[in-house]
Amino acid sequence: MDYRPLGRTGVQVSQICLGTMMFGGRTTEDDSIRIIDYAQECGVNFVDTANVYASNESERIVGRALARDGKRQSTILATKFNFPQGDDVNARGLSRRHVIEACDASLERLQTDWIDLYQLHRSNASVPIDETLRALDDLIRAGKIRYIGCSMFPAWKMVESLWVAKELGLNRFVSEQPAYHMLDRTAEREVIPAAQSFGLAVIPWGPLCGGLLTGKYRSDADVDGARWQGGKDNFGRQATPLAWQVLDLLHEMAREKDCSVSQLSLAWCGSQPGVTAPIIGPRTLEQITDNLGSVAVELTTEDLERIDALVPPRSAAVRYYDEAHAVDFSPNRHRSLV
């Protein structure tokens, strides 16, 4: 396992980040803890969760797992906030009120005194970014969080946030978490170059395209109970004919390299310029065992050129990024105040 700097910070994180969206849902607590233990035994020190995962249960499970045997001390723990937390109209979004309440609630569920990386789980145009950044800066000064980041921010929103932080003398974002994988390279157009220019770590989510890049799907057959059925996933994203051509190529390359399609796909994502650590989201111990094997897969220049020939840089064979609702363009959006 290699380690890479988390943006401009002095923190070193593993080249794979363990995502926990399945924990407390399709993955039981016992299995979730086994997955965390196995990941840490393999050198993973970076764990990402969110308060919305499994209705808060993912954070609780992660908290209980890391509270054992000093595991919290050696873990770079990341979580996210924004989405509704109940029926209260104010228990959501990026207002100062919700930022502070959400942080305190996550700290309690995670059984920790601090969060290493606290991330905005999407942007929200109805709240001026200076209000959110001021609240986050206060939490950093209070010692409750160490660093802040964003997820699915378009490049202009990232730059706006950095500019406001500089103008007001506030702590700035150190990372961006975009949807990014071989079948949708939209983030390469502006988001990743902006992150590279301003020193933000790039932590891609969905590097296996919601399972499509695991190798278990074929264009002529469905997998019972799986996320992709009839060429569409459970969010209605469509696999194009080009996507199936890419999968055919990956099956061929995986045979040549004696690895799995998922390992090849993760190795590709982790090797792209600007990428810090792809987030894997294993449901089973077998899946994380396979996923972590990607660190041993070496891609040559020729390998990358074969893939680029089908899905060139900045192209998309599946509209994944654009369907992830990157920005809330509220009709009542406000401009930032400085």
Catalytic residues: 53
CA–chain centroid gap for 154, Å, is 15
Residue of 167, 172, 156, 87 lying closest to 123 (CA atoms):
156
Integer Cα distance of 299 and 256 in angstroms:
12
Q: Supply the DSSP symbol for 180.
A: -
Q: Is 242 exposed, middle or buried (0-12, 13-18, 19+ CB in 10 A)?
A: middle
- Report whether 106 contacts 81 (CB < 8 A): yes
Specify the length of the chain in residues.
Answer: 338
Strand-pair partners of 47: 18, 77
- Report whether 206 contacts 320 (CB < 8 A): yes
**CA 270, 276, 280: angle at the middle one, nearest 5?**
60
Residues 6+ apart with CB under 8 A from 126: 93, 328, 330, 332, 333, 334
Integer Cα distance of 177 and 36 in angstroms:
21
SS percent in the chain: helix, strand, coil, step 5: 40, 15, 40
In sequence order, what DSSP letters do the residues of 254-323 get, joined into one string?
Answer: HHHHTS-HHHHHHHHHHTSTTB--PEE--SSHHHHHHHHGGGG----HHHHHHHHHHS-TT-BSS--SGG
